[in-house]
Structure 1
Amino acid sequence: MAVTVTLLAAALGCLAVLSPRVGAVVERTADLVILVPPVLGLMLLALAWPGGRRLAVTTAAVVLGTPYAVRVVAAAAAPLAGAGFVEASVASGERLWRVAFHEILPNLRATILALFGLRFVEAVYVISMAGFLQLGPQPPEADWALMIRENAPGILLNPWATIAPAIAIAAVAIATSLATEALAPRRGGEVAAR
C-alpha cells in the first residue's frame, strides 16, 4: 500500500510540475479527495464493497493517501522543473515521462524515501483502524488490531493481551520510519550536477 502510494505520487507529482494541463487536473482531483475525511472514506469504501474487506481497505488507503503524497512530491519537484538540465532535456525533445523519471526523480531520493516512511506509518494506522472498526480482516484471522479489539474488555485482567499488539504496531511503524531516515541521502536538497 505504501509502495503503491509512493510510486503513484512520484509519477503524478513529477508530471504535474512538467505539464500545466496535467498539473491542473492533478491539483483539482487532489483538492476534491483531500476534502473527504480518511475515516469516512475508509468506511464508505469498505462498507460499499461487498466481501472485499482487505481489498476495500487497501483501495481506500491508496485513494485517500495519494493526493497528500502528490502534493509533497510536486512541491519538492517544482524548483527542479526550472533547473537548466531539465529545461535542456525538454528543449531537446525528450518526452515528459522520460524527463520526470531520468532528470527529476533521481534528485528527489531523500523526499521519496521520507514520503515512503510517512505513507508506511499511515498505512499501518489505516489498517489498524480498519481492523479495530471491524472493516478489515475478521476473526479468526491474525491481526494486531483485532487482538486489541478482542482483548480490550479484559484489559484489567490481562493488560498485556492489549498492550503487546499495540507495542508491535508502534514498533513496526517506528522501525520503518527510522530505516527510511537512515537510507535517505544526507544532502537531499542539492541538485545533482549534470
Structure 2
Amino acid sequence: MSAVTTATSRPGRTRRRALPRVVPGLLLVILALAGPFLAAHPIDKPVTAPYARAGADAVLGGDQLGRDVLSRLLHGGSALIGSALLVAVVVTVLAALLGCCAALRPALGRAVERTADVFILLPPVLGIMLIALAWPGGGRWAVISAAVVLGTPYAVRIVASAAAPLAGSGYIEAATARGEKLWYVAARELLPNLRATVLALFGLRFVEAVYVISMAGFLQIGPQPPAADWALMIRENAPGILLNPWGVIAPSLAIAALAISANLASAFLIPRSAPKEVTSS
C-alpha cells in the first residue's frame, strides 16, 4: 500500500507566519513616513537645555542644542528609507539586466567579473568619500550615487552566477535561434526564472544601503547639520551620551530595527521551490 503526500501550505498558516516578519517592517516604514506629522516640535527649535534628560517638554530629552530628540527622530526616518529604497531598486534593476546579459555573452561576463573584482578591493568608506567629496555640493544625492556605483558590480556578478546554468537551456537556445535580441532574451526568457535571486538581492541591497547611508551620515559626508538624520544624530549627540543617552540610543535602535525588519521581510518573500512528493509504502 502506497500513499503520496505533498507538503502543502495552508493560506491561513502562511499568513500567520508572514505577520511576525512583514508587519514590523511595514509599521516602521509607515511610522517613518508619518513621523514629520507626528512630531511635537520643529526639528531646529530648542525646547530644553542642551542634553537635558527626558521630561514633559521632550519625551526623549534634548540634543546638543536643546532640540527635541523625539521630534528629530520622527523626522529622520523618511529620508533614510527613501534613499535606501532608491539605491536598492536601481542596483537590483541594473544587476538583473546586466547579469543576465553577462550570462548570455561570455565576453561581457568576463568584463563584469573583472570590474567586480576591482570594486570589491576598494574599501567602501574610501569609495564613498572619493565619490561624495568629488560630487558638486555633496549631500544625500552624492551618497546615493556612491552607493549605486559601488554596489552594482558585485550585484551583477551574483545575478550572472545564478543565470549562468540557465543560459544554455533549450528555451534560451530557441529564443536565440528565432533571432530575438539580447535584451529580449535576458528580460523575457531568462530573468523570470531568477525571481528568487532577484528578490533576495533586493532585500540585501536595501539593508546594505541603510548601513552605507548611515555610515556616510555618521561621517558627515551626506546630510549636513541641521538636517534630522538618524546617523547624524548619533554623531552629534555622542559627546553627551552620559547626560542624555537617548540622543544616541534612540537613532541607533531605529537604524537597527529598520535593517533587521527589512531582512526578515525579504527572507520571507523569497519564493520557495515547489515541494517534492514523498512516497511511502
TM-aligned CA deviation for residue 28 of structure 1: 2.4
Q: Which of residues 178, 185, 195 is equivalent to 1:92?
A: 178
The one-letter amino acid of 2:224's match is: Q
How far apart are 1:18 and its partner, in Å?
0.4
Residue deviations 1:53-93, cap 9 Å, x none? 21211111111111111111011101111111111111221
Alignment correspondent of 2:91 = 5
Q: In terms of mean alpha carbon deviation, does 72-81 or 151-160 score higher?
A: 151-160
Q: TM-score, normalised by structure 2?
A: 0.64
Runs in 1 of length 4+ with deviation above 3 angstroms? Answer: none
Match of 1:138 in 2: 224
TM-score by length of 1: 0.92
1:168 aligns with 2:249: no
Alignment match, 1:38: 124
What letter corresponds to residue 89 of structure 1 in structure 2? A
Q: In the TM superposition, what whole-angstrom CA distance separates every residue of 1:14-43 from its partner, at most 9, and x where no partner exists?
A: 000101232232222222222211110001
Alignment of 1:172-183 (within 5 A): 172-183=258-269
- Within 1, Cα distance between the matches of 2:114 and 2:204? 23
User: Equivalent residue for 1:157?
Assistant: 243
> Which residue of 2 is the match for residue 191 of structure 1?
none
Q: Which has the larger radius of gyration?
A: 2
Q: Secondary structure at the match of 1:50?
A: coil
Residue 161 of structure 2 corresponds to residue 75 of structure 1: yes
In the comparison of the two structures, how many residue pairs are matched?
188
In structure 1, the residue matched to 2:148 is: 62
- Cα root mean square deviation, aligned: 1.3
For 2:166 and 2:243, how far apart are their aligned partners in 1? 58
Confirm or deny that 1:28 pairs with 2:114.
Answer: yes
Cα distance between partner residues in 2 of 1:117 and 1:170:
15
- What residue identity is the alignment partner of 1:49? W
Unmatched 5+ stretches in structure 2: 1-86, 275-281
User: In proportion to residue count, which structure has more helix?
Assistant: 1
Q: State the percentage of identical aligned residues.
A: 73
